Amino acid sequence: NAGVTQTPKFQVLKTGQSMTLQCAQDMNHEYMSWYRQDPGMGLRLIHYSVGAGITDQGEVPNGYNVSRSTTEDFPLRLLSAAPSQTSVYFCASSFGNNSPLHFGNGTRLTVT
Protein backbone atom coordinates (compact mmCIF):
# COMPACT_ATOMS: atom_id res chain seq x y z
CA ASN A 1 0.00 0.00 0.00
CA ALA A 2 1.98 3.01 -1.29
CA GLY A 3 -0.61 5.70 -0.39
CA VAL A 4 -0.28 8.83 -2.54
CA THR A 5 2.63 8.82 -5.00
CA GLN A 6 3.81 12.00 -6.68
CA THR A 7 6.40 12.35 -9.42
CA PRO A 8 8.78 13.98 -10.02
CA LYS A 9 10.20 15.16 -6.68
CA PHE A 10 12.05 18.08 -8.23
CA GLN A 11 11.69 19.88 -11.55
CA VAL A 12 13.21 22.96 -13.15
CA LEU A 13 11.43 24.52 -16.10
CA LYS A 14 12.08 27.49 -18.31
CA THR A 15 9.33 30.07 -18.78
CA GLY A 16 6.86 28.88 -21.40
CA GLN A 17 7.62 25.17 -21.09
CA SER A 18 4.87 22.70 -20.29
CA MET A 19 4.89 19.70 -18.01
CA THR A 20 2.67 17.29 -16.13
CA LEU A 21 2.93 16.50 -12.44
CA GLN A 22 1.79 12.97 -11.79
CA CYS A 23 -0.28 11.81 -8.83
CA ALA A 24 -1.56 8.32 -8.11
CA GLN A 25 -3.24 6.77 -5.08
CA ASP A 26 -3.98 3.14 -4.28
CA MET A 27 -6.49 3.65 -1.46
CA ASN A 28 -9.59 3.76 -3.68
CA HIS A 29 -10.25 7.34 -2.60
CA GLU A 30 -12.92 9.21 -4.53
CA TYR A 31 -11.66 12.69 -3.64
CA MET A 32 -8.33 13.98 -4.97
CA SER A 33 -6.88 17.47 -4.94
CA TRP A 34 -3.85 19.55 -5.81
CA TYR A 35 -2.38 22.24 -3.54
CA ARG A 36 0.47 24.64 -3.90
CA GLN A 37 2.47 25.77 -0.89
CA ASP A 38 4.26 29.10 -0.84
CA PRO A 39 6.08 30.67 2.14
CA GLY A 40 3.67 32.43 4.49
CA MET A 41 0.60 31.47 2.46
CA GLY A 42 -0.25 28.01 3.69
CA LEU A 43 -1.73 25.49 1.28
CA ARG A 44 -3.91 26.83 -1.51
CA LEU A 45 -6.25 24.60 -3.45
CA ILE A 46 -5.65 24.54 -7.22
CA HIS A 47 -8.10 21.92 -8.53
CA TYR A 48 -9.99 19.03 -7.05
CA SER A 49 -12.02 16.02 -8.12
CA VAL A 50 -14.84 14.21 -6.32
CA GLY A 51 -14.63 11.18 -8.59
CA ALA A 52 -13.55 9.87 -11.98
CA GLY A 53 -14.69 12.18 -14.77
CA ILE A 54 -15.44 15.10 -12.42
CA THR A 55 -13.12 18.04 -11.75
CA ASP A 56 -13.59 21.52 -10.36
CA GLN A 57 -11.56 24.65 -9.68
CA GLY A 58 -10.14 25.64 -6.33
CA GLU A 59 -8.79 28.99 -5.14
CA VAL A 60 -5.92 29.39 -7.62
CA PRO A 61 -6.73 27.44 -10.83
CA ASN A 62 -5.31 29.80 -13.46
CA GLY A 63 -2.46 28.32 -15.46
CA TYR A 64 -3.26 24.74 -14.48
CA ASN A 65 -5.35 21.97 -16.01
CA VAL A 66 -6.43 18.64 -14.55
CA SER A 67 -8.27 15.52 -15.66
CA ARG A 68 -9.54 12.46 -13.81
CA SER A 69 -9.95 9.55 -16.21
CA THR A 70 -9.49 6.92 -13.48
CA THR A 71 -10.08 6.80 -9.73
CA GLU A 72 -6.36 6.27 -9.12
CA ASP A 73 -4.76 9.07 -11.16
CA PHE A 74 -5.06 12.86 -11.03
CA PRO A 75 -2.36 14.58 -13.12
CA LEU A 76 -1.77 18.35 -12.98
CA ARG A 77 -0.72 20.06 -16.20
CA LEU A 78 1.12 23.35 -16.54
CA LEU A 79 0.53 24.48 -20.11
CA SER A 80 2.99 27.40 -20.21
CA ALA A 81 5.07 27.69 -17.07
CA ALA A 82 5.61 31.10 -15.46
CA PRO A 83 7.99 32.14 -12.65
CA SER A 84 4.92 32.78 -10.44
CA GLN A 85 4.31 29.02 -10.54
CA THR A 86 7.53 28.34 -8.66
CA SER A 87 6.25 26.50 -5.61
CA VAL A 88 5.94 23.19 -3.83
CA TYR A 89 3.00 21.16 -5.13
CA PHE A 90 1.15 18.57 -3.08
CA CYS A 91 -1.37 16.06 -4.25
CA ALA A 92 -3.81 14.75 -1.65
CA SER A 93 -6.63 12.22 -1.54
CA SER A 94 -9.42 11.23 0.82
CA PHE A 95 -12.64 9.25 0.97
CA GLY A 96 -14.67 12.45 0.67
CA ASN A 97 -14.19 16.21 0.63
CA ASN A 98 -14.70 16.44 4.42
CA SER A 99 -12.52 13.45 5.26
CA PRO A 100 -8.89 13.57 6.40
CA LEU A 101 -6.46 14.16 3.55
CA HIS A 102 -3.54 11.88 2.72
CA PHE A 103 -0.75 13.86 1.10
CA GLY A 104 1.95 12.84 -1.33
CA ASN A 105 5.58 13.78 -0.70
CA GLY A 106 5.38 16.85 -2.91
CA THR A 107 7.04 18.21 -6.05
CA ARG A 108 9.37 21.17 -5.77
CA LEU A 109 9.04 23.15 -9.01
CA THR A 110 11.26 26.03 -10.07
CA VAL A 111 10.45 28.11 -13.15
CA THR A 112 13.26 30.34 -14.41
**Residues lying near other proteins in the complex (CB under 8 A):** 35, 40-45, 48, 58-59, 90, 92, 97-98, 100-106
Quote the least distance from Cβ 16 to other proteins, whole Å. Answer: 29
Quote the least distance from Cβ 92 to other proteins, whole Å. Answer: 8
Sign of CA dihedral 81, 105, 23, 54: negative
Of the pair 33, 85, the CB lying nearest other proteins is at 33
Who contacts 77 (Cβ-Cβ below 8 Å, separation ≥6)?
Answer: 18, 19, 20, 21, 64, 65, 66, 67
Quote the least distance from Cβ 7 to other proteins, whole Å. Answer: 14
Quote the least distance from Cβ 66 to other proteins, whole Å. Answer: 15
Of the pair 17, 101, the CB lying nearest other proteins is at 101
Q: Closest by alpha carbon to 34, among 112, 101, 110?
A: 101
Of the pair 42, 62, the CB lying nearest other proteins is at 42
Maximum Cα interatomic distance, the chain, rounded to a whole number of Å: 37
Calpha distance 16→29 (Å, rounded): 33
Amino acid, single-letter form, for residue 96: G
Of the pair 28, 42, the CB lying nearest other proteins is at 42
